[in-house]
Amino acid sequence: MSEKIYLNGHLVSGGEAHVSVSNPAFLHGVGLFETLRTYNGKPFRLAEHVERLRASAQRLSMPITDLIEKIPAAVDEVLAANNLTSARVRITVTPPGTMEDVEHGTLLVRAEATAGYPSQLYERGMTVYVHTRYRQSSLDPLAGHKTTSYFPRLLALRDAQEKQCGEALWFTPDNFLAEGCMSNVFIVREGKLITPPLDTPVLPGVTRAAVIELAQKRGIDCEQRPCTINDLLGADEVFLTNAVMEVMPVTRVERHAVGNEKIGEVTRTLAEAYKELTGAA
């Protein structure tokens, strides 16, 4: 069965899905996207992803409210059409362009089967790269939003992969830890969970929020505060979060070992709690 994609109210095969040459995302990288996972055929925290997209659209003055309302039904259609239970779903929304999509903009939803990241990464942990050439600034109007202007992230991730690292970490111009190219960052020191605050700025990750909730329910103290490179390198544990990787242990920051390259107790506890949460979704 060929892949079915939702595009502007229609289910079409992958080869038939086309957008206008005047689409703002094609011309200028103007658009928003969300990525989420499904478990047992159910999208995990879809409402939170939709609300984050809505908040970004409002903040960035993108007239796409009507399209956002259609997302839940579109996701259900794509999952059913492709008979998927464990999937990665990508939602892309762009504002009106200058030709055929001038009135309505574009909503595209695509889903593909996934089992997440390789299991060995969760067993041995990921190595991350500290990127020093690029900085995440509160002066950037796109900071904290998932926009289709994603090329800087891909450049940084490519640099990390050339160093045999799975993710690149961004810092602010003031040298405070921000986030990964595609993840939020948590550190653990003396049993306390610490993560950069949203106004660093960082993306208000849906998985990030879920992990903070799980920590609170399990009596793990969680603090959102600015973090330095010394906090990162001095951490007992480090892990990353996003919708696809879930809770990813980090055991090396380049050549620096984290927690003697062993996955820590807090990371394990939260990873297991997250698995339980998604299993019940």
Residues of the chain with CATH 3.20.10.10: 119-279
pLDDT band at 130; cut points 50, 70, 90 = very high
Architecture of domain 4-113: 2-Layer Sandwich (3.30)
Residues of the chain with CATH 3.30.470.10: 4-113
pLDDT band at 101; cut points 50, 70, 90 = very low
Contact (CB, 8 A) for 29 and 151: yes
**DSSP-based three-state secondary structure for 145:** coil
For 178-214, the pLDDT digits (tens) are 999 999 999 999 999 999 999 999 999 999 999 999 9
For 250-266, the pLDDT digits (tens) are 999 999 999 999 999 99
**DSSP-based three-state secondary structure for 244:** coil
> Which residues have a Cβ under 8 Å from the Cβ of 114 and sit 6 or more positions away?
37, 86, 87, 88, 244
Residue 155 CA from chain centroid, whole number: 17
Top pLDDT among 20 and 221 is at 221
To the nearest whole number, what is the mean pLDDT of the chain? 94
pLDDT band at 275; cut points 50, 70, 90 = very high
Q: What is the mean pLDDT of residues 150-170?
A: 97
| Homologous superfamily of 119-279 | D-amino Acid Aminotransferase, subunit A, domain 2 (3.20.10.10)
For 62-99, the pLDDT digits (tens) are 999 999 999 999 999 999 999 999 999 999 999 987 54
Q: What is the mean pLDDT of residues 44-54?
A: 98
The DSSP call for residue 31 is -
Tokens at residue 102, please?
Answer: 């001038």
Share of the chain above pLDDT 70, in %: 97
